Amino acid sequence: MKRTDPQRVLVVLIHGFTGSPARMAAVSAEIYRNAGSDWFEVFTPHLPMSRLSTMSPTRIACDLVEKIDARWKEAERSKHAFDRILIVGHSVGSLIARKTYIIACGSTGDAPFEAEVVSTRPRDWASRVDRMILLAGMNRGWRVSHHLNVFRALNWWLGSVFGRIVELLTGKSLLIFQVHRGAAFVTQLRIQWLRMRQRAARDDVAGKCLTVQLLGSIDDYVSSKDNVDLVAGGDFVYLDVPFSGHRSILEMRDATVPPGQSRTRGALRSEALAAAVTLSPEALRAISVVPDDSDEIPSPNAEVKTVVFVVHGIRDEGYWTSKIARAIRKKMREDAHTVATETSTYGYFPMLPFLFSKSRREKVEWLMDKYATMVATYPNAVRFHFVGHSNGTYCLGEALRLYSCCRFERVVLAGSVLRARYDWSNYLTDGQEGGRSHGAVGSVLNFVATADWVVAIFPKLFQDVPIQRLGGAGHDGFSEQSDRITQIRYVRGSHGAAIAEPVWPAIAEFVADGSVPNLDPALVRPSRNPVVAFLGLIPWLWWMLIGGLLVFVGYEIAPNSSEPFEEVVVRMLLLMAYVLAIFRIVTWF
């Protein structure tokens, strides 16, 4: 890209959150200085990324694709067609840059675009994008963490509260909350990027552009764990930018000289950017730094064709998941499958946090993070299956609702806390591709227990509360009828009946070949336990009784002002112990 290079280059600069084209001026000037001006054109669109923007980042990327399309065609009509494209993104703009490139390369069947992406065809210019530079890219999104100083963390936290209030009042999510760590947009982008890379390597099509990430040495907004995505970005070139933060990485004219240096901060940043723009791929890889957590980079295994997730539920560390996984692996290997299982745990999840949608959402994001890791680790896996219990079933249900890239062929649910009216018709797929708002499954096996009092009393209480998306499918079964939904009524036992060892062969059989298992008659009953069935009819009453009993006991313990001082002190201590005991139980049970 020197001045003697006869090629015409289009440089697309994408500013960050609350930024503007003016913020990218120094970057533009530095690229101009290194790339030359004769065959060089900068395109820096102003994107709707203000603090109060509720624009979808996918929509922003789609609009940007159309703008580049228009500029590309205009150049062709004027007989001055571009030969190459360089895309540079800063902060949130780095996510938009990658999404733009993904859309331009066209949809892959195993990671379909969101419904917002109207055209899924590859763009003519996609193959001409030969390099992408990410400045302080938040490739895994952002989060409030100990990495931030106290005042900035407080600022982000207050902003988060404000954002949630806006979402509750308007039903719209602020743009910045659509790019937090684990958000659907970020996870979808990671999976789509992986699938794009895999297809490009397999079919020799667009999607192989060199990606260079410049890492500020003192990023004071986004932690290194969120800047660097070693799962989806394992093939990136990483370059350190000395004495630079999240915002200052753009300041190429900074004339201050840091201690121990002979050159200015601006000169050091300019040098790093010049290397990213001008050096050959081989030279860049020779000077690429290795992130401290490089052990997180997955080692691809091309032999595995099938991946099975086994996910535990509430009040459970998930020790049984590996045992069911072994039974599945044994059965599938007998059928000549090359299979891997994922049985990681998200930790012990008590009942009280389970009742808060934010806490449950974190587990959904954990699941999809693991899903992305499996896509990177097993690039040739063509089948993903799922076995979930209790909150694991909720994770599956919400992942299907929020992530169009979430695709499981066979799903087994035990002690399900999804609604009985869960709309499976949105997710059951017959193989059609294209933009879609939801994930997809092939077939479902749901076990309903005879005495699942946990589901009957707790999750079922919220069956008609839209915001909670909980219900009693493990107690009542699903109401939807389909030849791809099989329900076994009723497995003898309570909440964990369907994950007991006698049921493992049936789970393995369904996962392996999709056949409806025949359980031992001793494990099945024709009806539910009448007591538990009655409990499930009026779950709200039992909550009221439990709450009333707790209040009554607390009232009896509470001191009376007419009592002697010594007895008041004793009663106050007892009341405090009582409240602490309740808190301990609900945060542990």
> Do 242 and 343 sit in the same domain of this protein?
no
Last residue of a domain, one of 236, 267, 296: 296
pLDDT digits (tens, 9 = 90+) for 116-128: 998 899 999 999 9
> Alpha-carbon distance 89 to 129, whole Å?
14
Structure tokens at 297: 């980079």
Is 286 part of any domain? yes
CATH code of the domain covering residue 335: 3.40.50.1820
CA 35 to chain centre: 37
pLDDT digits (tens, 9 = 90+) for 66-114: 999 999 999 999 888 999 999 999 999 999 999 999 999 999 888 999 9
> Do 90 and 186 sit in the same domain of this protein?
yes
Structure tokens at 362: 């974190």
CA 167 to chain centre: 19
Is 169 part of any domain? no
Which residue, among 317, 308, 438, 418, has the nearest Cα to 374 in the 3D structure? 308
Is 192 part of any domain? yes
Residue 304 phi, psi (nearest 5): -75, 130
> Do 578 and 493 sit in the same domain of this protein?
no
Tally the C-alpha atoms within 13 A of residue 46's C-alpha that lie toward its C-beta: 4
Average pLDDT on 519-526 reads: 92
> Do 40 and 70 sit in the same domain of this protein?
yes
Which residue, among 135, 142, 126, has the nearest Cα to 175 in the 3D structure? 142
> Do 532 and 456 sit in the same domain of this protein?
yes
Read off the pTM. Answer: 0.90
Which structural domain range is residue 551 located in? Answer: 542-586
Give the number of domains in the chain: 3
> Do 288 and 312 sit in the same domain of this protein?
no
The answer to whether 16 touches 93, Cβ cutoff 8 Å, is yes
Structure tokens at 527: 């009806």
Is 312 part of any domain? yes
pLDDT digits (tens, 9 = 90+) for 131-165: 999 999 989 888 877 666 777 778 777 888 888 88
Q: Judge residue 334's burial from the number of C-beta atoms within 10 Å of its C-beta, 0-12 exposed, 13-18 middle, 19 or more buried.
A: exposed
> Do 232 and 257 sit in the same domain of this protein?
yes
Is 162 part of any domain? no
> Do 276 and 326 sit in the same domain of this protein?
no
Question: What pLDDT, on a 0 to 100 scale, did the predictor assign at position 314?
Answer: 86
pLDDT digits (tens, 9 = 90+) for 7-40: 789 999 999 999 999 999 999 999 888 865 557 8
Which residue, among 161, 104, 115, 131, has the nearest Cα to 11 in the 3D structure? 131
Is 163 part of any domain? no
Is 153 part of any domain? no
Average pLDDT on 279-305 reads: 83
Long-range CB contact pairs, 567-571, < 8 A, 24+: none
Question: What pLDDT, on a 0 to 100 scale, did the predictor assign at position 432?
Answer: 47
> Do 468 and 556 sit in the same domain of this protein?
no
Last residue of a domain, one of 264, 296, 328: 296
> Do 509 and 558 sit in the same domain of this protein?
no
Is 158 part of any domain? no
Question: What pLDDT, on a 0 to 100 scale, did the predictor assign at position 1?
Answer: 45
> Do 89 and 105 sit in the same domain of this protein?
yes
Last residue of a domain, one of 518, 536, 554: 536
> Do 415 and 515 sit in the same domain of this protein?
yes
